[in-house]
Amino acid sequence: MGRSADHRSSKKTVQLDVRLREFVGYTLRRTSSIIQADLAQTLKPFDLRMLTFSALSLIINNPGLRQSQLADAMDVEHPNMVSLIDDLEARNLITRERSTSDRRAYAVCGTEAGKRLYEAAHKAVADHENRLLAGLNDDQRQQILGAMEMIQTAYKI
């Protein structure tokens, strides 16, 4: 499941080493891990993990994608995509159909049930974000997203 969900627990936290906190890489990792744990709790009622939610979102919003395209978009190795898709298909949230033009490939689409679950989960995640970022205005949120985008593209060059 990953990290413990209860980050609000009032354990007597040790506040020490300042040097590590200067690193954006370190701070980003810790923050991301905290958010991830909370997000997992948010998605639990829908029986979705972050990976299955991401896959569902991509499939619903881009119907007909191949698994390899999904894997690329999610930055997941192809073999690891299989069980994700298997899970969603077994629950009748998506369909896997052989492509007519290339019989090696599958075209993946969301079902009506998948779309309903996705919309509900999406709303829960959006609410979660708003709670989480209540202290930041739209401008600040955009700055964060912009900075992350900049770092990501810096890596792709």
Residues 136-155 that bind a second copy (CB under 8 A): 136, 140-141, 143-145, 147-152, 154-155
Q: What does 102 interact with, of a second copy, DNA, none (CB < 5 to 8 A by kind)?
A: DNA
Q: Where are the alpha helices (DSSP H) in 13-137?
A: 24-43, 50-61, 67-74, 78-90, 112-132
Q: What does the per-residue mask of binding to a second copy show for 52-91, with x meaning CB under 8 A? A: --x--xx--xx--x---xx-xx-x-x--------------
- CB within 8 Å of 106: residues ≥ 6 apart: 66, 67, 96, 97, 98, 99
Q: Name residue 133's amino acid.
A: L
If one counts every other C-beta atom within 10 angstroms of the C-beta of residue 60, the result is 19
- Choose which of 49, 56, 93, 110 interacts with DNA (CB under 7 A): 49
For DNA, the closer of residues 53 and 118 by Cβ is 53
If one counts every other C-beta atom within 10 angstroms of the C-beta of residue 120, the result is 12
Q: What does 92 interact with, of a second copy, DNA, none (CB < 5 to 8 A by kind)?
A: none
Q: What does 120 interact with, of DNA, a second copy, none (CB < 5 to 8 A by kind)?
A: none
